[in-house]
């Protein structure tokens, strides 16, 4: 989200180099590939809190991602700069933000399809499947920016922090990892957010790990995500034939 905001605001291009410590500099592709916090801290600090919060809200943080999903939480989006680290830390570690895997899956799906944010839905009966209707939440004008994001997300899988999701025998998913602390519970969080780069894109996947060990991190979450993608490939989910209902949680692919 910070990358989209910075590109749309004209703060950077895909080739802009930012110092990230010592004599090192990175462009956007490398910053996404290696999940470099300093890169995104600089962008957040230069854009300011109101701009960062606007884009976070635009992508659905602080509101429910689903339509009629019982028990879904909206998460939180701070109303003012976090006391710890301000907007810079908010733009890298997500300081002050609480989000659900559903919200992050919505973000990934929006990036995958070119900017349409749909309400997530979970039909649980044959009648609900029969009467299923696609519901659009909003349209984001981000399509021209997405190739720059996708290059970084592919690089993350090929050689960056998400490389443990790499599948040498299949089409690669595009992904991004995240590792942070859960300040409210004294634990750690490991995230992997991704989508299958198929045409048409049919699957967004989010893995969230929670725990107290050092093994709870983004790369570990990426490895788990990679196992899912490989298992789906082995069952021809991404092949020319549509998967049978029992391979798609008893729902047709269009409903997933």
Overall pTM > 0.75:
yes
CA proximity to 174, closest of 144, 143, 195, 160: 195
DSSP assignments along 147-178, one per residue? HHHHHHHHHHHHTSTTGGG--TTSPPEEEEEE
CATH number for the domain harbouring residue 222: 3.40.710.10
Domain count, the chain: 1
Residue of higher predicted confidence among 107 and 68: 107
Residue of higher predicted confidence among 210 and 171: 210
Q: What is the rounded CA–CA span in Å between residue 26 and residue 24?
A: 7
- Residues of the chain with pLDDT > 90, as a percent, come to 78
For residue 205, the model assigns a pLDDT of: 96
Burial class (CB in 10 A: 0-12, 13-18, 19+), 80: exposed
Q: What is the pLDDT of residues 233-246, one digit of tens each?
A: 888 887 754 444 34
Given a cut of 70, is residue 252 above it in pLDDT? no
For residue 171, the model assigns a pLDDT of: 75
Q: What is the pLDDT of residues 15-65, one digit of tens each?
A: 999 999 889 999 999 999 999 999 999 999 999 999 999 999 999 999 999
Q: What is the pLDDT of residues 81-129, one digit of tens each?
A: 999 999 999 999 999 999 999 999 999 999 999 999 999 999 999 999 9
Residue ranges making up the domain that contains 104? 2-255
């Amino acid at each position: 989200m910070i990358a989209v905001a910075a590109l749309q605001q004209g703060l950077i291009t895909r080739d802009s180099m930012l110092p990230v410590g010592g004599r090192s500099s990175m462009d956007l592709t490398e910053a996404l590939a290696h999940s470099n916090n300093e890169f995104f801290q600089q962008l957040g600090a230069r854009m300011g809190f109101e701009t960062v919060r606007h884009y976070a809200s635009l992508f659905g943080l602080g509101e429910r991602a689903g339509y009629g999903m019982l028990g879904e939480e909206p998460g939180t989006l701070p109303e003012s700069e976090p006391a710890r680290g301000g907007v810079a830390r908010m733009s890298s570690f997500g300081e002050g933000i609480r989000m659900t895997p559903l919200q992050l899956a919505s973000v990934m799906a929006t990036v995958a399809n070119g900017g349409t944010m749909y309400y997530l839905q979970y039909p649980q009966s044959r009648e609900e499947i029969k009467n299923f209707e696609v519901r659009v939440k909003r349209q984001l004008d981000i399509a021209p920016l997405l190739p720059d994001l996708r290059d970084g997300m592919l690089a993350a899988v090929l050689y960056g922090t998400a490389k443990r999701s790499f599948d040498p025998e299949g089409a690669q998913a595009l992904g991004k990892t995240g590792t942070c602390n859960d300040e409210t519970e004294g634990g750690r969080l490991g995230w992997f957010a991704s989508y299958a780069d198929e045409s048409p894109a049919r699957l967004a996947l989010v893995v969230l790990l929670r725990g107290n060990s050092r093994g709870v991190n983004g790369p570990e979450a990426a490895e788990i995500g990679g196992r899912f993608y490989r298992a789906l490939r082995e069952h021809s989910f991404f092949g020319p034939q549509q998967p049978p209902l029992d391979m798609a949680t008893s729902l047709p692919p269009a409903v997933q």
